[in-house]
Structure formats: structure tokens, C-alpha cells
Structure 1
Amino acid sequence: MKVFDKIHFLIASICLLYTTGISSQNMTTSPYSMFGIGELTDGQYGQHAAMGGVSVGMRDPILINSVNPAGLTGLDSLRLVADATAFVKNEWYSSRGTHTNATSGNLSSFSMGGRIMPRWYMSAGVYPYSTVGYYFRTKEPVEGTDGSYYYSTFEGSGGLSTASLSNAILLNRHLSLGVTLSYVFGNITQTETQESMTVAQKMYTNAFNARFGLQYTKQLANDLGVTVGLTFGYKQKLVLDNTTTVQTSSASTERSRKSLTQYIPPFVGVGASVTHKRITYGADYTFRKYSTLVSTDNRVTFRDVHEVKAGISYLPATYQSESYWRRVSYKAGVSLSNPYLSVSGKDGFSWRVSAGLGFPVSNGRIHTALFYDNTQLTGNTLRSSALGLSVSYTLSELFYKVKL
């Protein structure tokens, strides 16, 4: 296949993904996704979700690294790789004596990539960035009455997604440089209903953004290799066009309001992986400046996040002649961070544990990850937890024919 045909193929693929409407809707049921641009997603999809989401220093012949684009140079140079991930999870929330729980799930991401020409690799994909999904009711007393109350219902849906095109260059045997150009798009709908009046606010946004990555890899011995990586992104302004509809039992009025300004926060991440014989160890540290986000509620503020991830993978054998179960990979991981959300000045702690298996199938692998998330703010302000299952299917198809 000619070079320009391959480029056109990948660009056409990302356009197809955009039009199919893979989005971040139905990916959460958190009442706290009503703040900012929704609940931010990271490390919840892909092959290494079972390893705690480690990514910055990871590379593999069938891994499309969506976090560090420099890792694309580790792809098999003769194959086209495609990856799709879906998940389901049940979430529990409690805040000052109020408890809720719900189940959600969706197709969360799709990507494909491969070598374009010697030293040049490319991938295209659609990924979730943030998600909004909540429904709850409040009960308040009517002033000046005894035993009378009014009820308010709050609903929200939508979120932001990214359609991304990544390029990576193998500068030499050890060093790779990559860049991901992303189109951020989506809409968020928030509705408040009181008695016979409903106020619905719908916000739209789109913007372009980029992230950059670097990887250095070296084989220290026949059975020992190490990779270190760096990735970073800049602060990107988001302008959310805002339309409000007020509906009563007798009339409906729609009006445009002043646009809201939010930001994609800047970040920097470092990571490393070590492969010794059949075991791979990985670790990441990431700093995200979420304090750049703007809160419309004076009780809620956004805090900068420090996150540490670590994971391990064990693959007993890779040869087709080995038994099936010896070609199954075993993965586990953990991530620790502070929440990006602070309520009434209360900070807290978040952690996530995960484990999974990777099953060999014809021309690819199926990766599973069972995960448990927990976030708790001090003073019983908020406690949330989630138990879920992520499934990723990776297809590796021959893209080049070797001439003898």
C-alpha cells in the first residue's frame, strides 16, 4: 500500500469514527459530574487498564499508546493494529447521609494505527475526555408554612470527546518523538425542574489541542529491556456556547446566554517500564493543573492533581506451539491520587486497584480488567466507589507483504 493511501486510510478512519457518534454519554452516574466540564476520564480504557492505567513508558508491538504518542514506534512495522474498548460499572455515592447507586456502561474508545513508512508511525482514534450523567431530587421546606415542601429535580447528560491523530518519528534506534493533535468536541445538557417549570441549559464546545511525547528505550540484555517516557500538554481555552430554555405549563422560551469559558488543564507525566524475561513492570507519575477549571458553585473548587500509577504484567509464553493457557497474560495494578474536586474546602484521597487477563485470539488479543475505584473527602462530604469491568479487543492484521 502506498504511503499516501495509508495516510488517507487513517484519516478516513477517524472521520468515520467521528460520524458514528462514539461519545462519552452514559459513562457515569456521578452527581458531582454536574460541576465544571463533567467527570474527567483517564486510564479507564485500553490494554493496560488492568495495570492501573500505566502508559507513559509503555510500548508493545500491538499497543496503540493514546497517552504518549512516542510509544507508537513500538508497533509491529508490518501490521495494522486496531483497538476497541467497552466497559460496564456500578457506582455508589454517599454525602451527608444521602446514598445513591446506579449502573452505566458504553463503548468508550476506538483507535487504529501502524507504520506509514520507515521511522514514521501514525494512529487515529476517538476517546472520552469528560462525561456528565446524573439524576437526583432535593426536598426543601416552603418558607412561612408548616409541613409543606417543594421538590427540585436535577438531570445532566453528555460530555466531551476527542478525535485524535497521532504521529511518531523513530529518531534513532533508541529515541522516539511523538505528537497528538486532537479535536475536542461535545455538548452538555443540564436540566432543573421545580413544580411546573423546567429550565434546561445546553452547552456546546469545540477546540483543537495537542500533546507531546518522548520515549527512550534500550535493550540492556537479551532478557532485559527498559523504556522511559515523558509526555506533556498545554492549557487550552474552551468556549462553551450556552442556550437556555425555560418551559412552563403554558409557554416555552429559548434564549442564548453569555458563553462560558473553561479550560483543558496543562499536564506533565513521566514514566518507565522494565521488561525482564516474561514480566513487565510499569510506573507513572502525572501532574495535572486542574485548578485552571472554573467552578460556577462557590462551594466547589478544583485542585491540582498528583497521581502515581504502578502495574505488573506476566506472560508465560508467546509461541503458538505453547498451550493456550500459557499464552494468557496476567496483569494487576494500582493508582493513587488526590481528587481534582474539593467540596466546601474538604480535600481527600482517591485510589484504584485493578487486575485482568489477556486472552490470545486469532490475529489479536482480548484484554479484560476488573477494577475498583474509591474516592473519599474529609468530613463525610463525599464518598464514592465503583466496581466495573473493562474489555478491550486488539486486532493485528498484516498490512505489508514481505518481498522475498
Structure 2
Amino acid sequence: MNKYYKTLLMVLFSTTLYSQTNNLTGSPYSLFGLGVQSNSNIGKNSALGRGGIALGSENVINNYNPASFSTISEKSFLLDIGFLGELNNISNSGKDELRLSANFSNLALAFSLSDHSGIGLSLVPFTDVGYSLIGIESNVEGSQDDFVSNIVGSGGLNDLRLNYGYQLYDNFRVGLRTSYLFGSIKETERILIGTSFLSIDEENYYRGFRFGLGLQYDINQKNSLGFTIDLPASLNGSQDRFVDKSLDFIGTNVEDEQGLDISSFKLPIEIGFGIRSQHIPGLTINLDYKRNLWGFTNQRDDIGRYVDQSIVSFGAQYRARERGLKYWQNIEFRAGFNYDSGYLNVNNQIIDNYSFSSGIGLPINVRGSSMINLSFTTGQRGAVEGILVEEKFNLININLSLKDIWFKRIKFN
């Protein structure tokens, strides 16, 4: 890697890490647990229903299965930079609210180690937090006075992931991945009673490792199978807590604690299956099913309990030529669907969500090895029932996916 690549990656890594400390979502459901699952994706997966367990990584990094990294062509280098914009429409008992958030979303690189193996490193959000509860009126116990609370949450966890894939046979690949999950979730509460107020700032920090395995098997040239498993993990937690109050415009520090021990957060075992099919020339179809066994973690949120989760994703991509001589022959058209049964049960109501996606891959060069991948996703989470709210979300993912060849010798006649 030359010095220009090194400088570029250092700048992008710092920018991505800093930007992920800011909100990437406005979902009210990010109040629960560690937040909502991130909508950030690498390459073209966003437009394919957020699936791709059986897909390869020939031209675009596929983070859904580490075994795919063995398909990176020899002496190739892949780089992916992502941007995410999200517009949420929150509905509750006839009231609507719009929330907009946008930021850099991911940085990933991968390269071949040999003609049978490849490796990749990525930094993507794991969960996103970005909620606000404004103007909550409550009664002071034992009196006729009321107080107003404003609660704002932000942050989330990041996934620094190392993937390694190896091709054991011509049609069978295996892969290992190691993730270091880290980040913080900050909640700020302001309580106003007349001319007095109470300020509570809490920031929870989580960190821990998680390991996974992936397999891919080519039945023939047109059909492939994929399998992934992510092992259970426990994220260690700590908390910084600051409490201040003001009476008659005189401020006083009530509490100042740092490094407090809090309960670890348990992640479940996750099992995924995928199918890739290409029976029509130029048309590739992928279908994934994942099962996350949250019930075995025996965890509860403040107002709900965790239940087993199922995720189904479907995607289709059309490209006129694998290596077209004309620009339009290398354009990729994509569409997808995703259904998530949810993992949190609140008052016997499970918060599920579904989404539809479409996208396009625009080649940067004539041969189409490097692309600008654009996708639009629209979906819904929750419902206007009981204490729940209905959230309609619209997402725009922009990924710059670059491919280069290392150590290529230039020949002159």
C-alpha cells in the first residue's frame, strides 16, 4: 500500500470514528436496550434487503459472511466509504413528528492474501441511539405541584470487525470473524419545577469481543448456499453519572461519580442461512433467514422482555454483462425486502418492522469494477397501539466502493 492510501485511510478512519459518536437515527425505539440495529451497510447490501449470506466479495465487500472474503481476486484491494441519511415520521395518537439525521456511516477495506484467501477490516455502527422525550408532565408525589421532564439520548455502539476467508475446495469456503464492540450511550434529563431544576447526566460505556464463523458452498455455477453463526457475547459496562440542582438560581452539585459498575449486556447466539441463485442471465437473487435467540439471555428492559427474533431478507440484482464493453452494460439495478419480527416484547406487543429497498450501482470506470452504490429504503416499525408509537422511516445509503489492483506490472512494447 503506497503512502497515499495510508494517509487516506487514516483520515477516513478518524472521520468515521468521530462521526459515529453523533446520531445516526431519530427512532424513539432506540430508547430500549443498546438502541436500534444500525441501518448502515457496506457496498450494495442495503439495496438487497440487507442480506447476502451466500454472496461473494469479488468487486464489493460483503460483511455478511466472512467466507466471502476468499473470493476477492488475487492482488485486489477493496475500499468502501459510506454515508447514511435517515428521515423518521413518528406518529402517536394523531400527533406526527419528523426527525432527520445524517452522517458518515462506515469505512471498510479488504484485500487478497493469496489466490485462496482474503482478509478485511471494517468499522460500522452496531447500534444507533437518538431519541428525545420533550415536555413530559408529571405530578410531584404528595403535593399538587407538577414538574416537566426533557429526556434526550444519543450515541450507540461501533463494530470494529476483522474478517478472514479461506477457500478449502473449488466450491467450498470457510471464514472467521472477530468483532470488538465498543461505544457509549448518553442520556440527559432536565427536570423543571417552577424556578428550580434538576439536571441528571448519565453515560453508559460498553465493550467486549464477539466471534463468528461463516461457510459458503457452491452447488453449481448458478446456485450457492451460505451459513453464519455469531457466538453469544457479554459486553462489560460502566457508567459516569453527574447530578446538579438549582434552587433560587443557586447551583449545587449533588452527585459526581465515574466508573460505576453496571450490569453487562448479553448478546445472543445468531444463526443465519442464505441462498444465491442465478438462473436468468444477468439476474442474481439472494434469500436469507436469521434467527437470534434472545430468549436464552434471560434479559429484561425497564418496560419489556427480550424474545427470539427472526429476520427474513430478499434481494435481486440485474446487470446486463459481467464485464460489458459499454458503460450501460455494467450498471447494476437492485431491489429488496426485509422483515424483522423484533426482539422486544412491551405489554405483550412485539415491536416488529419491515422495509422495501431499491438501488443502483453506477460504475466509476467503463469496466465497472469500482462503483457508486445508491439505495433508498422505506419501512415501518411499531404501531399506534397502547404505549407504542408508529415509526415510518426513509433511508438513503451512499457507498463509494473502490477496487484496485496491487503489484500490477506495467509492460511497454
TM-score between both structures, scaled by the size of structure 2: 0.87
C-alpha deviation, 1:97, in angstroms: 4.8
In 2: Cα distance, 1:36 partner to 1:368 partner: 30
C-alpha deviation, 1:218, in angstroms: 4.4
In 2: Cα distance, 1:80 partner to 1:52 partner: 26
Task: Confirm whether residue 157 of structure 1 aligns to residue 158 of structure 2.
Answer: no
Which amino acid in structure 1 is aligned with residue 216 of structure 2?
Q
In 2: Cα distance, 1:14 partner to 1:283 partner: 36
- Secondary structure at the aligned position of 2:108 is classed as strand
Matching residue within 254, 257, 274 for 1:255: 257
Matching residue within 387, 393, 401 for 1:386: 393
Matching residue within 366, 371, 392 for 2:377: 371
State the match for 2:166 in structure 1. Answer: 169
Task: Confirm whether residue 106 of structure 1 aligns to residue 103 of structure 2.
Answer: yes
Matching residue within 406, 410, 413 for 1:399: 406
Per the alignment, do residues 193 and 296 of structure 1 end up closer, same or farther by CA in structure 2, a change over 3 Å counting?
A: farther
In 1: Cα distance, 2:34 partner to 2:53 partner: 25
C-alpha deviation, 1:98, in angstroms: 4.8
The answer to which of 373-382 and 242-251 deviates more is 373-382
- Secondary structure at the aligned position of 2:17 is classed as coil
Q: How does 1:298-337 map to 2 (within 5 A)?
A: 299-322=303-326, 324-337=327-340
In 1: Cα distance, 2:375 partner to 2:119 partner: 26
C-alpha deviation, 1:102, in angstroms: 0.3
- Secondary structure at the aligned position of 1:191 is classed as strand
The answer to which of 73-82 and 327-336 deviates more is 73-82
State the match for 1:342 in structure 2. Answer: 345
- Secondary structure at the aligned position of 1:379 is classed as coil
- Secondary structure at the aligned position of 1:251 is classed as strand
Aligned residues with identical type, % of pairs: 23
Deviation track 1:121-142 (CA, whole Å, cap 9, x = no partner) reads 1001101111111112212245
Q: Which runs of 5+ in 2 are unaligned?
A: none
Which amino acid in structure 1 is aligned with residue 217 of structure 2?
Y
Task: Confirm whether residue 351 of structure 1 aligns to residue 351 of structure 2.
Answer: no
In 1: Cα distance, 2:290 partner to 2:40 partner: 12
Matching residue within 243, 250, 269 for 1:266: 269
Per the alignment, do residues 197 and 32 of structure 1 end up closer, same or farther by CA in structure 2, a change over 3 Å counting?
A: same
Which amino acid in structure 2 is aligned with residue 21 of structure 1?
L
Which amino acid in structure 1 is aligned with residue 310 of structure 2?
H
- Secondary structure at the aligned position of 1:105 is classed as strand
Per the alignment, do residues 24 and 386 of structure 1 end up closer, same or farther by CA in structure 2, a change over 3 Å counting?
A: farther
Give yes or no for contact 1:339–1:347 (8 Å, CA) kept in 2.
yes
Which amino acid in structure 2 is aligned with residue 309 of structure 1?
S
State the match for 1:178 in structure 2. Answer: 175
Per the alignment, do residues 337 and 326 of structure 1 end up closer, same or farther by CA in structure 2, a change over 3 Å counting?
A: same
Task: Confirm whether residue 120 of structure 1 aligns to residue 117 of structure 2.
Answer: yes
Per the alignment, do residues 198 and 15 of structure 1 end up closer, same or farther by CA in structure 2, a change over 3 Å counting?
A: same
Per the alignment, do residues 373 and 55 of structure 1 end up closer, same or farther by CA in structure 2, a change over 3 Å counting?
A: same
Per the alignment, do residues 310 and 14 of structure 1 end up closer, same or farther by CA in structure 2, a change over 3 Å counting?
A: farther
Deviation track 1:47-77 (CA, whole Å, cap 9, x = no partner) reads 1211101111111411212121001122222
Which amino acid in structure 2 is aligned with residue 81 of structure 1?
L
Give yes or no for contact 2:92–2:384 (8 Å, CA) kept in 1.
no
In 2: Cα distance, 1:19 partner to 1:293 partner: 37
Per the alignment, do residues 293 and 184 of structure 1 end up closer, same or farther by CA in structure 2, a change over 3 Å counting?
A: farther
C-alpha deviation, 1:143, in angstroms: 5.6
What is the root-mean-square deviation in Å for CA atoms of aligned residues? 2.6
Which amino acid in structure 1 is aligned with residue 138 of structure 2?
E
In 1: Cα distance, 2:151 partner to 2:91 partner: 17
Matching residue within 58, 68, 75 for 2:65: 68
- Secondary structure at the aligned position of 1:21 is classed as helix
In 1: Cα distance, 2:308 partner to 2:397 partner: 27
Q: How does 1:32-51 map to 2 (within 5 A)?
A: 32-41=29-38, 44-51=41-48
Which amino acid in structure 2 is aligned with residue 66 of structure 1?
N
Give yes or no for contact 1:347–1:378 (8 Å, CA) kept in 2.
no
Aligned length: 390
Which amino acid in structure 2 is aligned with residue 30 of structure 1?
S
Deviation track 1:251-296 (CA, whole Å, cap 9, x = no partner) reads 2231143322111221000001112320101000001123437334
Deviation track 1:278-327 (CA, whole Å, cap 9, x = no partner) reads 01010000011234373341x222222111111110001244522x3332
Give yes or no for contact 1:278–1:315 (8 Å, CA) kept in 2.
yes
In 2: Cα distance, 1:19 partner to 1:83 partner: 14
The answer to which of 42-51 and 127-136 deviates more is 42-51
Deviation track 1:90-109 (CA, whole Å, cap 9, x = no partner) reads 00222345543200111111
Which amino acid in structure 2 is aligned with residue 375 of structure 1?
R
In 1: Cα distance, 2:308 partner to 2:79 partner: 34
